[in-house]
């Protein structure tokens, strides 16, 4: 299982990324995340819905209720154009973090000591 802090930091870009692939509802997003992570990321209703509501307030996603004959109404979420721009900004930031972590893990840390210093 991933740490709560790392999971919390990644919810926004993950949700936006999932919704960029198409409309979805909360429970299905939770299932997709669990499947994509091989079960290492288990999100709960109590975690995802506040994030979805915040993203909606920020105009990054929109929602509407869909009635179905064979089930209860579901609230579907869809990414907005502003949300797509935000997703790209998030992607760039996460790519930079990943690049630095990759360098650290490979031991490619530049020497910060000026020549001659101990």
CATH of domain 4-105: 1.10.10.10
Q: How confident is the model at residue 2 (pLDDT cuts 50, 70, 90)?
A: confident
Please report, rounded to a whole number, the percentage of residues in the chain having pLDDT higher than 90.
71
Find, among 52, 17, 54, the residue nearest to 36 by Cα. Answer: 17
Tokens matching residue 91: 């992607």
Domain ranges (residues) in the chain: 4-105
- Check residues 117 and 101 and name the one with the higher pLDDT: 101
**C-beta separation of 79 from 94 below 8 A:** no
- Residues 60 and 16 sit within 8 Å (Cβ to Cβ): yes
Q: Which of 64, 80, 74 is nearest to 16 (CA)?
A: 80
The overall average pLDDT reported for the chain is 91
């Amino acid at each position: 299982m991933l740490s709560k802090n790392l999971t919390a930091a990644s919810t926004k870009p993950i949700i936006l990324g999932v919704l960029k692939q198409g409309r979805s509802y909360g429970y299905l997003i939770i299932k997709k995340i669990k499947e994509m992570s091989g079960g290492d990321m288990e999100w709960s209703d109590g975690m995802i819905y506040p994030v979805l509501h915040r993203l909606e307030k920020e105009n990054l996603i929109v929602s509407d209720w869909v009635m179905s004959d064979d089930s209860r109404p579901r609230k579907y979420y869809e990414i907005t154009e502003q949300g797509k721009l935000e997703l790209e900004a998030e992607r760039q930031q996460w790519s930079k973090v990943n690049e630095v972590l990759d360098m650290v893990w490979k031991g490619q840390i530049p020497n910060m000591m000026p020549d001659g210093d101990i």
